Amino acid sequence: MTVKPKKILIVGAGIGGLTTALACLHHGFEVQVLEQAPALENMGAGIQIPPNASKILAALGLEQEIAAHAFRPQALQTRMGQSGRQVFSIALDAKTLNHWGAAYYHIHRADYVAVLSTALQVRANNALLLNAAFSHYQQTADGVVAHMADGRQFHGDILIGADGLRSSVRQQILGPEQPRFTGNMAWRAVVPLAALECPPPTSACVWMGPGRHAVTYHLGDGLVNFIGVVERQDFLQEDWHTTGARQQAAADFADWHPMITGLIDKAEALHCWGLYDRQTLSTWVDGRVGLLGDAAHPMLPFMAQGAAMAVEDGWALARCLASYASDTPRAALNIADALGDYQRHRLPRTQAAQNASRRNAKTFHRSTVVSQLANYGPMWLGGKWAPNLVRQRLDWLYCHDETAVTVG
């Protein structure tokens, strides 16, 4: 493994895979993205782009395109689900965003992917290959070969698995594993704002309640995003394309605020899926092969950081590889060392985000009056009398600038 890496193979063309490709191009590498789908479909729902991810998109020259399709929320809020009473609100004004160092956006996932894929096509026209279902990889003395299900082979210096929760690359590295059902299922819908008699606030808003919570936020093009998470123990498949019954969603949030029940009533389709968790991986690296995003550190969607951490991963990986490939003393490292640097750098931060997401699952679902007062009372007091302290609890996430970090 003494030859400097030139070509990076990336399995998966989601947000993490596409960002990684753009970051690797930015750092001087050739890339090939292998995506099993026949097209990058116009599917999905809303997604949040917090400041830690916005900084990387800006470094890649994409913020203007993102902003053109996105909505800028006015605050981060928590409310009680039934009464709608506000617990706290963090204004996303110029002072806050300057403190965090970048903008905060809401965007439809399809628009996000379109911005990334269009940029990749402009910067490297043949880099994205569709209808390329990954089968397995094979490492050689001087490279790695990606074998497709139809027998095609692609050669590179490094292979990165950005193929999500059910990663085939991860399975080859670590073997089969069984995810853990968390006892939660999620509803999601995108609803036209014009259809709502009682629209939710123009904030990223978490609505908390016994055994369930909801998240609402506005998107570009006059849309509103809804996520509803409910505790239930029966098995649900881990596939967010499954359509659920409106009657069940309405029953799950029957006594909630009209802003929530109105979203459920006006949604054209309500999708549902089970939320699964996975143990922290023992390694993300196998020689010339590495993992990122949900393939490396799948996390529950209770911090709006899953995609953001994948975006950070992409930049960090490209920077570690570029450091190895440069003319600095670090160029004496081999490829496995460079990927090991990437894992050691990213593991503590992604674990912290995973753990925070797991904690929020409990915080949002307090069932008794005593537990609600014990948890939400201090939040309310902090929001009323010490809003800067409430905001500072998010600084470790949002102030972070992966583009300014030096590894090694």
Structure confidence by residue, pLDDT tens digits, 360-369: 888 888 876 6
Across all residues in the chain, what is the average pLDDT? 90
Banded model confidence at residue 318, pLDDT cuts 50, 70, 90 = very high
Please give, one letter per residue, the 3-state secondary structure of 341-398: HHHHHHHHHHHHHHHHHHHHHHHCCCCCHHHHHHHHHHHHHHHHHCHHHHHHCCHHHH
Determine the distance from the C-alpha atom of residue 309 to the mean position of all C-alpha atoms in its chain, rounded to a whole number: 6
- At residue 324, the pLDDT reads 77
At the second CATH level, the architecture of 7-72+105-178+278-361 is: 3-Layer(bba) Sandwich (3.50)
One-letter amino acid for residue 198 of the chain:
C
Over residues 296-306, mean pLDDT: 92
Please give the Cα distance from 243 to 269 (Å, whole number): 7
CB atoms under 10 Å from CB of 356, counted, come to 19
Over residues 79-100, mean pLDDT: 94
- At residue 332, the pLDDT reads 42
What is the pTM for the complete model shown? Answer: 0.93
For residue 385, pLDDT beyond 90: no
Q: Give the chain's radius of gyration (CA, Å).
A: 21
Over residues 267-296, mean pLDDT: 91
- At residue 331, the pLDDT reads 44
Over residues 350-369, mean pLDDT: 86
DSSP 255-314: TS-HHHHHHHHH-S--EEEEEEE-PPPS-SEETTEEE-GGGTS---SSSS-HHHHHHHHH
Residue pLDDT, tens place only, 250-264: 999 999 999 999 999
- At residue 330, the pLDDT reads 47
The segment with the largest mean pLDDT, out of 141-155, 169-183, 334-348, is: 141-155
Are the C-beta atoms of 49 and 40 separated by less than 8 Å?
no
The pair phi, psi for residue 147, each rounded to 5°, is -95, 130
Over residues 68-79, mean pLDDT: 96
Q: Quick one: CA dihedral 11, 14, 16, 18, positive or negative?
A: positive
Please give the Cα distance from 264 to 103 (Å, whole number): 29
Residue pLDDT, tens place only, 61-73: 999 999 999 999 9
| Helices 51-59, 306-325: crossing angle, 10 deg rounding | 40
Percent of the chain with pLDDT over 90: 71
Over residues 355-359, mean pLDDT: 91
Lowest-confidence region among 28-37, 369-378, 388-397: 369-378
- 224: part of which helix (H) or strand (E)? strand 223-231
Percent of the chain with pLDDT over 70: 89
- At residue 276, the pLDDT reads 86
- Which residues are the active-site residues? 217
- At residue 165, the pLDDT reads 87
For residue 21, pLDDT beyond 60: yes
Are the C-beta atoms of 310 and 162 separated by less than 8 Å?
yes
**In the chain, where the domains are located:** 7-72+105-178+278-361
- Return the bridge partners of 107, or none: 47
